[in-house]
Structure 1
Amino acid sequence: MKESFDELFRTVKLDRKNSNFSQRCTLESRYKELLSEIEEIEKAIENGDLKNLKEELGDALWDLMFLFAIAEEKQIDPKDVIEEVIEKIKRRKPWIFTGEKLSIDEEIERWKKVKKQEKSQKS
């Protein structure tokens, strides 16, 4: 799977480099495209259309990776983004790594508690 993600990101960057249209895209314009694809995902889910869902997930992934490419041009390292979200999940959901069994309510309670602590540390 890593190779597929790497190839997709290389393809996005090639598109950004070699397509006049793609060079004109901004964070704002690609964000709007992503929102549009998310609406398409919603429709596919509502309709129970798994074939279309697969296509729309791919379209949304393309737009998200495109946002990563533009962000990288603005000195936001995609690796840093990925590492930060992994660390966030490790803090907020440590039980998924330890095998500890929690009820849904306990999971939600712990998630909210850690999130609240993180927010208070930022302010």
Structure 2
Amino acid sequence: MARLRDPDGGCPWDLEQTYATIAPYTIEEAYEVADAIERGDLADLKDELGDLLLQVVFHAQMASEARAFDFEAVADAVADKMIRRHPHVFGTGEADAAETVTVNWETIKAAERAAKAKDGKPSALDGVARGLPALLRAVKLQKRAARVSFDWGEIAPVMAKIEEELGELKAEMAQDQPHPERLQDELGDLLFAAVNLARHMKIDPEAALRHTNSKFERRFRALEAELTAGGADLAEAGLEAMEAAWQRAKAAEAETPNSTGPKEETP
């Protein structure tokens, strides 16, 4: 990477990059790692981990050029963090169950966030990155609030909240001239409430939506294959024919064992 970033004979593209321009690639590579894991493809996982590592190297090289830190400092920092957050391994702390480790981990992280608070007034929500995917960030915000008891103790009021938010969205949609910003707010509130339900059910909403995305893609491809057999144009099939083909694809899955797709050993 140092060679690629060398002004004397380096790569013009690499030389033009900044932290901001590389950040989207870093996020993309992390998702591709997750995809390889979900597909159980270890060979692909090796490649994707290499691509993700390259992103770390790229950022570290740019920081090194700015005399801020280098790759070794990145590795040292994370090693120090792991030692600090595992006192039951590297120190005198005790933890005989994964749940205890999690509690200790979060307690140590909270202390670290408090020490970093810029105005001296730490918030329970400090450290929840704004760049996270919206579903994941909603879960983290809700979990942080729950730690200080801002949470319902059962699912019934969560379901009621979803119904309330759906009602408010319908009311805004029923206006003669629905306001785009209010529609966005009401839809966002409904999605946030749905995430809260997933959290109370101990279901990862991101995983749930990925599963549904895969299911939709699988059924739509089956619909597409049926209705375009012989070279027909799918757009001319009509919604009624599409719906009938969709139901046939759905029924075929229900009749097939392990119909959620191929099951491969995951790492």
Deviates more, 1:100-109 or 1:45-54: 100-109
Number of the residue aligned with 2:5? 16
Q: Indicate conservation of the 8 Å contact 2:26/2:52, yes or no.
A: yes
TM-score by length of 2: 0.39
User: Alignment partner for residue 47 of structure 2, among 35, 49, 55?
Assistant: 55
RMSD: 1.9
Q: Indicate conservation of the 8 Å contact 2:95/2:101, yes or no.
A: no
Number of the residue aligned with 2:90? 97
**CA shift digits 1:80-105 (9 cap, x unpaired):** 33333222222211222259552111
Verify: 1:117 aligned to 2:111, yes or no.
yes
TM-score by length of 1: 0.80
Deviates more, 1:61-70 or 1:98-107: 98-107
Number of the residue aligned with 2:18? 26
Deviates more, 1:18-27 or 1:93-102: 93-102
- Paired residues in the alignment total 112
CA distance in 2, matches of 1:83, 1:62: 18
CA distance in 1, matches of 2:66, 2:29: 24
Question: What amino acid maps onto 1:46 in structure 2?
Answer: E
Measure how far apart 1:113 and its partner are: 1.2
Number of the residue aligned with 1:8? none
Q: Indicate conservation of the 8 Å contact 2:60/2:74, yes or no.
A: no
Question: What amino acid maps onto 1:122 in structure 2?
Answer: K
Number of the residue aligned with 2:29? 37
Structure number with greater CO (CA < 8 Å, separation at least 6) is 1
Question: What amino acid maps onto 2:99 in structure 1?
Answer: D
CA distance in 2, matches of 1:40, 1:122: 32
Number of the residue aligned with 1:88? 81
Number of the residue aligned with 1:4? none
CA distance in 2, matches of 1:110, 1:101: 8
Gaps of 5+ in 1: 1-11
CA distance in 1, matches of 2:22, 2:49: 15
Measure how far apart 1:14 and its partner are: 0.6
Deviates more, 1:110-119 or 1:49-58: 110-119
Gaps of 5+ in 2: 118-267
Which protein is richer in helix relative to its size? 1
